[in-house]
Amino acid sequence: MSQSPRPAVSSRKPPPMAPMGKARYRVMMTLVLVGLALLAGRIVDLHVFDRSFLQGQGDARTLRVDAIPAHRGMITDRHGEPLAISTPVVTLWANPQDLPDDGIQRLQLARALGQDLDALNARIERYADREFMYLRRRLTPEAAQRVLDLRVPGVHKRAEYKRYYPAGEVIAQLIGVTNIDDQGQEGLELAYQPYLSGEPGRRRVVKDRRGRLVRDLEVLREAEPGGDLTLAIDQRLQYMAYRELKAAVDEHEADGGVLVMLDARSGEVLAMANQPSYNPNNRTGLDPQGLRNRAIVDVFEPGSVMKPLAMSALLETGKFPPGSVVDTSPGWMVIDRYTIKDIRNYGELSLAGILEKSSNIGMSKLTLQLDDPVVPERYRALGLDSAPGTGYPGEASGSVPSPRVWSSSQWAALSYGYGLSVSALQLASAYTAIANHGQRLPPSLLRLDEPPAGEPVIDPAVADRVLGMMDQVVAPRTGARRGMVPGYSVAGKTGTVRKSGGTGYEEDAYRSLFVGIAPVSDPRLITVVMIDHPRGDSYYGGAVAAPVFSRVAGNTLRILDVPPDRVTGDRESADDAT
């Protein structure tokens, strides 16, 4: 068999590299070596000479500055009893991207959180592209620890504070509430938010890439706790006032009510109760009507409780000496086509009798004898057209009309408490001038170290004279007799005001009021009671509001150890003799 010839092997060598190719090769190798040298030099520089750069980059990925929550200041009553306190709680959060997909772990986490598994999974899915989501806010430390003990990856904690209100609904509107972030939202919590909140601190910590705390390094700034707020409120009196007000509102099936009690010597608010109310510790199903502090932010026509204040202005004119008599027959009169009525024809009445019988005709006839609007001027001097200045959010300013041309009907209406609007707090503050020999005291929601300087508004002799007239109003056989307090003298005035609606005054809707000062010999308390729209046959101030005053004032005077100034039975015998 013949074989194929093998190819001849060439004995030629490859041609030598051209001089230009050798040069390019050397250049490339030189560049590579120089680059490696520079890189090595930079590595040496960063690790030996300039370590701060790498340290900074590492720190930027592990060092964090966390906030240290500040403890919110406490709110207490005048004796130091807590009304609002902050307790430590724990908020659990998670990085959804680090949470495990394992169904068992998810189920354990949901059960520990007290949540539905499907709802938890849906939330995790919704936040899947983020690095933060809340799991549960403001848990007790014990409950939070049970969740953390599961050691579920991606679950973390944060220390916070939660507000707690020991008095609950009893003083809810005045104190107000904070939100879930412990920021004041209503009432004094809102008014004093910067003072109560304090200043959070800052600390530097080391965390791993999952956000877990590795080590505390240093405190950059200590947290500064908020300041404590001491109110003028006496919690003992507040509980008692709220109980009596609530009982009266329930008994008369009323829409609501307010009670304001001032210290007659200082203007401090010793009690301020509102109905309806709410539980600030559990706001589930909260009725917004209960949030309003009606005693400060609501205004209303006060009616006959203004007559003593108007009488003080009339007496100061000097035109009505002590023996003045007004003929109120036949019990009604027409002014500017408006008909003014008394409950009945009282005939001739003394000035004190006009207040005792609460005669609209008597007040109107006295007022129309004057040429100057002294009554509205007195109301303004008493602060009834300006905010009380307590600092409470939304406090009402009231309204006293000032038309360019006064009509007779306007003058007359103001004298018996119609045509203006006031708040319960303004009304109580105005009566400090009657209780303090003509010196009006501004109301204070905070405890005062010293009584403020009063503003002279009424002639001292006139103020004392009106106080004596009011003393005669609260007597055994008067319409205000239910405001009497056994053992103590009481100066008071009732009021029954027809409520106004969109089409004018309503036929069967009233506000029942009583203003009382006790004891007359040395005034200690000024109390305003207003019951809004009592239903049933009893709607007069003397029948609805006066009994509330009697119970509250009587208990308060005994709690404060005020000595009795009138022996029971002496007043009745004296009245019988007259």
Average pLDDT over residues 18-39: 77
Asked whether residue 534 carries a pLDDT value surpassing 90, the answer given is yes
Helices (H) and strands (E) in the chain, counts: 21, 19
Distance CA 341, CA 334 (A): 9
Copy the structure tokens of residue 141. Answer: 């430390």
Copy the structure tokens of residue 2. Answer: 């013949």
When pLDDT is cut at 50, 70 and 90, the band that residue 575 belongs to is: very low
Strand ordering across the sheet containing 525-532: 269-275, 256-263, 525-532, 504-518, 491-501
**pLDDT of amino acid 198:** 81
When pLDDT is cut at 50, 70 and 90, the band that residue 3 belongs to is: low
Asked whether residue 573 carries a pLDDT value surpassing 60, the answer given is no
**pLDDT of amino acid 214:** 61
The H or E element that residue 387 is part of is none
Q: Which residues of 336-375 are buried (b: 16+ CB within 10 A; e: fewer)?
A: eeeebebeeebeebbbbbbbbbbbbbbbbbbbeebeebbb
Average pLDDT over residues 19-36: 77
Asked whether residue 16 carries a pLDDT value surpassing 80, the answer given is no
Average pLDDT over residues 50-76: 68
Distance CA 105, CA 119 (A): 15
Hey, which residues are catalytic here?
304
Distance CA 271, CA 240 (A): 9
Average pLDDT over residues 378-402: 95
The H or E element that residue 361 is part of is helix 360-367
Asked whether residue 294 carries a pLDDT value surpassing 80, the answer given is yes
Residues forming a β-bridge with 308 = none
Asked whether residue 66 carries a pLDDT value surpassing 70, the answer given is no
**pLDDT of amino acid 404:** 79
Contact 276, 553 (CB under 8 A): no
Higher-confidence residue of 5 and 248: namely: 248
Share of the chain above pLDDT 90, in %: 66
Residues forming a β-bridge with 48 = none
Higher-confidence residue of 535 and 221: namely: 535
Distance CA 348, CA 329 (A): 7
**pLDDT of amino acid 52:** 61
When pLDDT is cut at 50, 70 and 90, the band that residue 43 belongs to is: confident
**pLDDT of amino acid 213:** 59
Q: What is the pLDDT of residues 260-273, one digit of tens each?
A: 999 999 999 999 99
Higher-confidence residue of 180 and 436: namely: 436
When pLDDT is cut at 50, 70 and 90, the band that residue 318 belongs to is: very high
Lowest mean pLDDT across 89-93, 153-157, 202-206, 332-336: 202-206
**pLDDT of amino acid 286:** 77
**pLDDT of amino acid 572:** 46
Q: Is the pTM of this model over 0.85?
A: no
**pLDDT of amino acid 171:** 96
Higher-confidence residue of 92 and 501: namely: 92
Residue type, 394: G
Q: Which of 278, 85, 82, 92 is nearest to 178 (CA)?
A: 85
Q: What is the pLDDT of residues 345-378, one digit of tens each?
A: 999 999 999 999 999 999 999 999 998 899 999 9
Distance CA 421, CA 397 (A): 9
Q: What is the pLDDT of residues 417-431, one digit of tens each?
A: 999 999 999 999 999
Average pLDDT over residues 496-522: 91
Share of the chain above pLDDT 70, in %: 88
When pLDDT is cut at 50, 70 and 90, the band that residue 578 belongs to is: very low
183 CB neighbour count, 10 Å cutoff = 14
**pLDDT of amino acid 37:** 79
When pLDDT is cut at 50, 70 and 90, the band that residue 576 belongs to is: very low
Average pLDDT over residues 288-316: 95
Lowest mean pLDDT across 120-134, 200-214, 417-431: 200-214
Q: Which of 543, 403, 548, 577 is nearest to 485 (CA)?
A: 548
Average pLDDT over residues 176-187: 92
48 CB neighbour count, 10 Å cutoff = 8
Listed in sequence order, the DSSP H helices in 458-563 are 460-473, 541-544, 546-559
**Mean pLDDT for the chain?**
88
Q: Is 177 left (phi over 0), alpha (psi -120 to 50) or beta?
A: beta
With a CB cutoff of 8 Å and minimum separation 6, the contacts of 255 are: 532, 533
**pLDDT of amino acid 412:** 94
**pLDDT of amino acid 574:** 35
